Amino acid sequence: MNNALKNRLIDRVFKYFAILSTLFGLVMLFIFLIDILNQGLSRIDWSFITSLPSRFPGKSGILTALTGTIWVFLLTTIISVPIGVAAGIYLEEYGKKSRMANILEINISNLAGVPSIIYGILGLEIFVRIMDLGASLLAGSLTLALLILPIIIVATREAVRAVPKTIKEASYALGATKWQTIWRQVLPVSSGNIITGIILALSRAIGETAPLIVIGALAYVPFVARTPMDEFTVLPIQIFNWISRPQKGFIINAASAIIILLAFVFIMNGIAVYIRYRTQKKIKW
Amino acid sequence: MKTNLISIALIALITSCGGPQQSGEKSGAKSLSGAIKIDGSSTVYPITEAIAEEFRVDHPKVKVTIGISGTGGGFKKFSRGETDISDASRPIKDKEKAACKENNIEYLSLTVAYDGMAVLINPGNDWVDYLTTAELKKMWEPEAQNKIMKWNQIRPEWPNLEMHLFGPGVASGTFDYFTDVIVGESGKSRGDFTASEDDNVLVQGIATDKNALGFFGLAYYEENKDKLKLAGVDNGNGPVYPSIETVKNGTYAPLSRPIFIYISSAAVKRAEVVEFIRFYLEHAGHLVSEVGYIPLPKEEYSAQLETFNEFAVSYQ
């Protein structure tokens, strides 16, 4: 076998390996989706979404869990996005390259890998007890914001770094200040990647249970939260609670709640893709 | 005639219910409002949830919230005065008592139900009928690790087959209780068994493995009777199978335990909390069995109610 043939063979083998790897993830996801839809779809109706928790699986609903999840999602976005993006821009554009900056950088990357329950313990001490916010929506959202900040910061930095230097230099050459360059050139170009990072981070936050249970999020809340200071529960806690119950009906309820949570994340992702598409269409160099 | 009888019965019922209510109630029952904070064991949660659900029908303005941070986590909040009632699947520990004392929190403990623990095997297992507590100990004690691996090591007439053990996770109150009464020390057991916090995983494990043996809450057996087989437990007085009767009358020992709620003295100053606990004890009888637990005998609930009334009055 000559060299060219051998290389072609390797090329082909790699191609099939890559296809297999892609299929592995997709098939697993597919099996999971079929299983969940099969179990839970029949249970979803309007009353499932608008009912309070109950000891009867058939009467039980997710009203407070779903509204809690929406609250947490909105508050976490409001808190984490400005801070995360600003920190990312500072580290990439303003911060000086020093030993301190290096240590900071390594720490932020490491923070992204800390188990989420640790953030729960931190949140319990700082937000719930020292800042005296109680087991409120605000305390929960602040905790989740901390949890996803490292992801947003890293994503922002990478997005900003990918903007060609020539663009920035051209902007300076025309007399723009640093702020004008960042706001009018760097951010619009990198916003697509930043939004992707934010969405991945928020999707993670929405699925978290452990840190919220630690800060004292509840399982049974018979009223819809009106202010950020109200107590709350979220969908993952409701799912966790239902899955551990002995009665079959609750397992079906859990599957239905998982479908709702998935749909919520899908819609969120859809909106993000749309925003990204719109912003990127505007870029004309 | 019939309507007369009914109305007499109704009057009797109303007057008998009215008795205990007058002692602490200043405002009318219908106008109760406020919030009741409950946290603690996820084992007790289904009962408290059922009570809260029914309580809400009578008193829609009272906001009852329930958390599931575990018996220990619940007591931590309780001893800081952050909750009014704590759900507990074991009695309060000395350390937790001290924490309550430090914060000037006195409390009353009430038994609300029994939880039976079942020892289960695969329906294909035709050799095990019952196990003595000594045999269970031999199976589960720390010394058994990597040594007691086959059925015939437990009883010589049993087959020379591998034994696969299943049990709840080490963080659960069920595990604590089982090891306490079987091995002799809470939390001590062999480490080489399949552990899961989710009892439904244990059900699946035992249902698909002929050589399996595991233990978990009786309620999970009730829901999966077709997939599992009960093993009796012999504590020296002959083998007993867990059932509502044997748990209730105490013959299924030692694998049944009482479960509790703890009420803070600060909380009983509020009419809605007093009413909630009374409601709890008056309705636990039927609600407890609806969610898969075993109720106390009727007289016990009345006795608990009396104890609570005294407690409530003394802190009013």
Q: What is the reported pLDDT for A264? A: 92
Interface contact B67-A135, CB threshold 8 A: yes
Instruction: Give the nearest partner residue to B49 out of A213, A220, A223, using CB atoms.
Output: A220
Residue matched to tokens 């934010």: A198
Both B84 and B171 in one domain: the answer is no
A146 to A79, A92, A108, A122, B285: CA distances (angstroms): 9, 20, 11, 9, 45
- Domain assignment present for residue B19? The answer is no
pLDDT in tens, B216-248: 888 888 888 899 999 999 988 889 999 888 888
Pairing of strands B256-264, B212-217: unpaired
- Domain assignment present for residue B1? The answer is no
Could you tell me the two tokens for B91? 């009695």
Both B53 and B102 in one domain: the answer is yes
Q: How confident is the model at residue B16 (pLDDT cuts 50, 70, 90)?
A: very low
pLDDT in tens, B160-172: 999 999 998 876 7
pLDDT in tens, B266-287: 999 999 999 999 999 999 989 9
Share of chain B above pLDDT 90, in %: 57
Top pLDDT among B2 and B80 is at: B80
For B180, list phi and psi in degrees, rounded to 5: -60, -50
Interface contact A213-B69, CB threshold 8 A: yes
Q: How confident is the model at residue B39 (pLDDT cuts 50, 70, 90)?
A: very high
- Is A7 part of the contact surface with chain B (CB cutoff 8 Å)? no
Residue A165, min C-alpha distance to chain B (Å): 52
Residue in chain B lying closest to A59 (CA):
B53
Q: Does residue B8 register a pLDDT over 80?
A: no
Rounded to 5°, angle at Cα A144 from A142 and A150? 105
- Domain assignment present for residue B9? The answer is no
Total residues found in chain A within this entry:
285
Contacts of A221 in chain B (CB under 8 A): 65
Residue A244, min C-alpha distance to chain B (Å): 6
- Is A246 part of the contact surface with chain B (CB cutoff 8 Å)? yes
Interface contact B292-A244, CB threshold 8 A: no
Interface contact A219-B67, CB threshold 8 A: yes
Both B128 and B202 in one domain: the answer is yes
For B192, list phi and psi in degrees, rounded to 5: -95, 60
Residue matched to tokens 């932020």: A108
Instruction: Give the nearest partner residue to A222 out of B48, B64, B292, using CB atoms.
Output: B64
Q: What is the reported pLDDT for B30? A: 59
Contact map slice: A 176-235 vs B, CB within 8 A = 213-214, 216-223, 231
Both B125 and B252 in one domain: the answer is yes
Give residue B211's identity as a one-letter amino acid code. N
In the listed set B217, B236, B256, which residue is the last one of a domain according to the structure? B256
Interface contact A243-B200, CB threshold 8 A: yes
CA dihedral A141, A145, A147, A152 (to 10 degrees): 150
- Is A117 part of the contact surface with chain B (CB cutoff 8 Å)? no
| Nearest one of A64, A223, A83, A94 to A142, comparing CA atoms | A83
Both B226 and B279 in one domain: the answer is no
Both B176 and B266 in one domain: the answer is no
Q: What CA–CA distance (Å, rounded) separates B255 from B181?
A: 7
- Is B46 part of the contact surface with chain A (CB cutoff 8 Å)? yes
Interface contact A55-B49, CB threshold 8 A: yes
Residue in chain B lying closest to A51 (CA):
B53
Both B223 and B275 in one domain: the answer is no
Residue A142, min C-alpha distance to chain B (Å): 20
Both B108 and B122 in one domain: the answer is no
- Domain assignment present for residue B93? The answer is yes
Interface contact B217-A246, CB threshold 8 A: yes
Rounded to 5°, angle at Cα B195 from B194 and B201? 90
Both B215 and B249 in one domain: the answer is yes
The region that residue B93 occupies, defined by phi over 0 for left and psi between -120 and 50 for alpha, beta otherwise, is beta
Interface contact B52-A251, CB threshold 8 A: no
* Residues paired with residue B257 on neighbouring β-strands, in sequence order: B115
Both B152 and B239 in one domain: the answer is yes
Domain extents for chain A? 3-43, 46-281
For residue B245, give its domain range: 116-256
**Contacts for B130-136: CB closer than 8 Å, 24+ residues apart:** B130/B231, B130/B232, B130/B233, B130/B234, B130/B239, B130/B241, B131/B231, B131/B232, B131/B233, B131/B234, B132/B233, B132/B234, B132/B235, B132/B236, B133/B181, B133/B182, B133/B233, B133/B234, B133/B235, B133/B236, B133/B254, B136/B182, B136/B233
Q: Who's near A94: CB < 8 A, 6+ residues apart?
A: A178
- Is B169 part of the contact surface with chain A (CB cutoff 8 Å)? no
Our count of domains for chain B comes to 2
Is the Cα dihedral A89, A92, A97, A100 positive or negative? positive
Residue in chain B lying closest to A221 (CA):
B65
* Residues paired with residue A136 on neighbouring β-strands, in sequence order: A231
Residue in chain B lying closest to A219 (CA):
B67
Q: How confident is the model at residue B175 (pLDDT cuts 50, 70, 90)?
A: confident
- Is A241 part of the contact surface with chain B (CB cutoff 8 Å)? yes
Interface contact A213-B52, CB threshold 8 A: no
Residue in chain A lying closest to B219 (CA):
A246
In the listed set B228, B256, B284, which residue is the last one of a domain according to the structure? B256
Pick the CATH number of A46-281 from 1.10.1040.10, 2.30.30.40, 1.25.40.10, 1.10.3720.10: 1.10.3720.10
Q: How far apart are the first and last CA of chain B?
A: 44
| Nearest one of B214, B240, B244, B242 to B227, comparing CA atoms | B214
Could you tell me the two tokens for B299? 């007289």
Q: What CA–CA distance (Å, rounded) separates A232 from B104?
A: 28
Is the Cα dihedral B169, B171, A57, B215 positive or negative? positive
Question: In angstroms, what is the C-alpha Rg of chain A?
Answer: 23
Interface contact B65-A218, CB threshold 8 A: yes
Q: What CA–CA distance (Å, rounded) separates A215 from B14?
A: 43
Alpha helices in A41-186 (DSSP H): 46-50, 63-89, 99-111, 116-123, 137-161, 165-173, 178-181
Mutate to test the interface with B, among A51, A54, A55, A209 (most CBs of B within 10 A): A55
Pairing of strands B212-217, B164-168: parallel
Q: What CA–CA distance (Å, rounded) separates A194 from A187?
A: 9
- Domain assignment present for residue B264? The answer is yes
Interface contact A220-B217, CB threshold 8 A: no
Both B128 and B231 in one domain: the answer is yes
- Domain assignment present for residue B303? The answer is yes
Both B190 and B64 in one domain: the answer is no
Q: If you count residue pairs, one on A and one on B, with CB atoms under 8 Å apart, how many are there?
A: 75
Interface contact B69-A214, CB threshold 8 A: yes
Are B298 and B118 in contact by the 8 Å Cβ rule? The answer is no
Instruction: Give the nearest partner residue to A246 out of B66, B77, B223, using CB atoms.
Output: B223
The tens-digit pLDDT sequence of chain A (285 residues) is 688 889 999 999 999 999 999 999 999 999 999 999 998 888 899 999 999 989 898 899 999 999 999 999 999 999 999 999 999 999 888 888 788 888 888 888 888 888 999 999 999 999 998 999 988 999 999 999 999 999 999 999 999 999 999 999 999 999 999 999 999 889 988 988 899 899 889 999 999 988 998 888 898 998 898 999 999 999 999 998 898 888 888 989 999 999 999 999 999 888 888 888 887 777 766
Contact map slice: A 44-63 vs B, CB within 8 A = 52-55
